[in-house]
Amino acid sequence: MHDKFDHARGWFLKADSDLHTATRVLTGDGPYDTACFHAQQVAEKYLKGLLALMEQPIPRTHNLEELQQLCIAFAPALQLTDVDLVELTPYAVQLRYDFEFWPDRETAEDALRMAERVRVAVLATVPQETHP
């Protein structure tokens, strides 16, 4: 039977898969919109993994600000109060279908840095046995 640690670890492993993909895209010459999508997914899955660990309902949303606020409410030690995730949220769906959205490498690198901040903050908050 799976417990809350397994559930959280599953989210974190999927997030790290997205992190790996975004990193690989950035080591090449794109496509950078794909890297932005995967960066958003890293942040989303780490936040949802934290909610899973806290045994909270996981909303069906891509809205990172909403997830961030839920996580901070249940894990006050989470060091994300000064992180503005507003730029990452649209990369989940909206900008994937925007034919005018072609980010450059710098935009994708910024997205990945933000996602990595979320990862580091969440992992610093959770028990070692949930780490991927």
Q: What is the mean pLDDT of the chain?
A: 94
pLDDT at residue 91 greater than cutoff 90: yes
Domain-located, residue 9: yes
> Percent of the chain scored above 70 by pLDDT?
99
What's the angle, vertex CA 53, arms to CA 87 and CA 73, rounded to 5?
55
Question: Cis (ω within 30 of 0) for the bond into 31?
Answer: yes
Report pLDDT for 1: 46
Q: What is the dihedral of CA 96, 102, 107, 111, to 10 degrees?
A: 10
Domain-located, residue 130: no
Query: From residue 121, how far is each of 7, 16, 81, 93, 116 by CA, in Å?
Result: 18, 14, 10, 24, 8
**pLDDT tier, 83 (very low <50, low <70, confident <90, very high otherwise):** confident
Task: State the total domains in the chain.
Answer: 1
**Domain hosting residue 105, numbered range:** 4-124
CATH of the domain at 37: 1.20.120.330
Residue 108, Cβ density class (10 Å: 0-12 exposed, 13-18 middle, ≥19 buried) = buried
